[in-house]
Amino acid sequence: MKAHLSISTDRMVLRTPEEDDFEAVAAFMSSNRAKFVGGPRPDRHDMWRGFLGQMGHWGLRGYGLFTLTQGGRVIGRVGLLNHLMWEEPELTCHIFDEALEGQGLATEALRAARLWAWEAHGMNRLASFVHPGNGAAQGVMLKLGAVPEKETLLLGAKVQLWRHPEARP
**Residue length, the chain?**
169
Number of H helices, E strands in the chain: 4, 8
Report the distance separating Cα 11 and Cα 86, nearest Å.
31
List of long-range contacts for 50-56, beta carbons under 8 Å, 24+ apart? 51/17, 51/21, 51/22, 51/25, 51/26, 53/83, 54/17, 54/25, 54/81, 55/1, 55/17
Q: In the chain, which ranges are E strands? A: 6-8, 13-15, 65-70, 73-81, 90-95, 127-130, 147-154, 157-163
Strands 6-8 and 13-15: antiparallel
Asked whether the predicted pLDDT for residue 1 surpasses 50, the reply is no
% of the chain exceeding 90 in pLDDT: 71
pLDDT of residue 6 exceeding 90: yes
**Domains in the chain, CATH or no CATH each:** 6-123 (3.40.630.30)
> What torsion, rounded to 10 degrees, do the Cα atoms 114, 120, 125, 127 define?
-60
Cα 163 to Cα 86: distance, rounded to the nearest angstrom:
15
Residue 2 in this model has a pLDDT that exceeds 80: no
Q: What is the mean pLDDT of residues 75-89?
A: 91
Q: Is the pLDDT of residue 103 over 50?
A: yes
Average pLDDT, the chain: 91
- Specify the DSSP element, H or E, that contains 56: helix 44-61
pLDDT grade for 14, boundaries at 50, 70 and 90 = very high
CA distance 78 to 90: 10
Q: Report, as an integer, the average pLDDT of 26-32.
A: 83
Q: For 155, list phi and psi in degrees, rounded to 5.
A: 55, 40
pTM exceeds 0.85, yes or no: yes
pLDDT for the residue numbered 97? 86
What gap in Å lies between CA 146 and CA 139, rounded to an integer?
10
Q: What per-residue confidence (pLDDT) applies to 50?
A: 87
